[in-house]
Copies of this chain bind each other. A is one copy, B any other.
């Protein structure tokens, strides 16, 4: 049995731990004692697993030199104390911490020389850690969730099939029940959602890198079983921005129609101004909390257009799915993001990523046909049914 450390016991981290525990020895750690207590009490009984070791981490207020065998991890406001040996015996580490501290945590894991799969969605450029990871002869698969993540792998896979002219990823995590006024619940950190609504979106248009306002170019799209959704620009391409040679690339977030207008209204009214933001975030958190047991879903559609090498014609390929909260209660966002990550963890533990070092964006996994097929099959086995449509 291999040993895995999962840092961050939120919805996604817990789902990854549960999934991996069927085959590996998993330690799950978090600073939130209540959350760990909740997981311990429910004994992860919403998922099949072997015993998962739960470790509570501590924040330290004063920064001191790290003692031998101890790691000190910086967040914005505090220092995270890692018990002696928590990493030492692990074969791989998964980082599922909030985006705000994701980069610092990743840096510390890489410094420890461990391989890592990261789904923390941090705003910094991961390539800043490329040299460090290579020095340590370690790899870090970053943005390894559903989107970013799965869409990158699809793109990587399609590179061998066609000369891609246009890439579009539509993705959204949504509550099943739609309530006034937002018709939205955040299946992951609400702070990261608000960040998406504020940060300008970078995309490729006719061969140029352009920047558009978040929430811009809002359009209606249809998903079978859901109906109409709206799709608007967000800054989700990330490492895909550097793929090159694809003249049109965009990522859009999916919501129930009307949500974007509501957010734009709050923005225009000034609720997102620096001096009002803290209060607004507090109100939105309250609104966007998924209730215990509340059902949610993930809608996903990647459309790739280009000139097909074998068919010698212009072609459109669509990968899409609508996934819902699992029968075991695992949220759809945790399923789709978490199982993509755990698929890659298994690839790594099986030695299939041998030779990879440095920062590995998911499109690199996708480019390796065997690895891509493995991830697809892995998700299929967990009832995430990704449909491919060739047009």
Binding site for B on A (CB under 8 A): 180-182, 262, 264-266, 268-271, 276, 279, 282-284, 286-287
Contact = CB atoms under 8 A, between A and B. Distances in A.
Residue of A270, A283, A286 most packed against chain B (CB within 10 A): A283
A270 B283 CA distance: 6
A264 B182 CA distance: 12
A45 B269 CA distance: 34
A301 to B, nearest CB: 28
Contacts of A284: 269
Q: Which 9 A-B pairs have the closest CB atoms?
A: A181-B265, A279-B279, A181-B268, A270-B283, A269-B287, A180-B268, A181-B269, A269-B283, A270-B286
B276 A282 contact: yes
B276 A283 contact: yes
A279 B276 CA distance: 7
A223 to B, nearest CB: 25
12 contacts: A180-B264, A180-B268, A181-B264, A181-B265, A181-B268, A182-B269, A265-B265, A269-B284, A269-B287, A270-B283, A270-B287, A276-B283
A22 to B, nearest CB: 41
A84 B286 CA distance: 54
Contacts of A276: 279, 282-283
A341 B268 CA distance: 37
A181 B265 CA distance: 5
Nearest to A265: B181
Nearest to A267: B181
Contacts of A283: 269-271, 276
Contacts of A271: 271, 283
Contacts of A180: 264-265, 268
Contacts of A287: 269-270
A282 B271 CA distance: 10
A180 B260 CA distance: 14
Contacts of A286: 270
A262 B262 CA distance: 8
A244 B286 CA distance: 45
Contacts of A268: 180-181
A286 B269 CA distance: 8
A287 B266 CA distance: 11
Given A270-B283, A270-B286, 19 more contacts: A180-B264, A180-B265, A180-B268, A181-B264, A181-B265, A181-B266, A181-B268, A182-B269, A262-B265, A265-B265, A269-B283, A269-B284, A269-B287, A270-B287, A271-B271, A271-B283, A276-B279, A276-B283, A279-B279
A349 to B, nearest CB: 45
A266 B283 CA distance: 10
A17 to B, nearest CB: 34
Contacts of A266: 181
A244 to B, nearest CB: 38
Nearest to A270: B283
Residue of A182, A264, A279, A286 most packed against chain B (CB within 10 A): A279
A286 B279 CA distance: 16
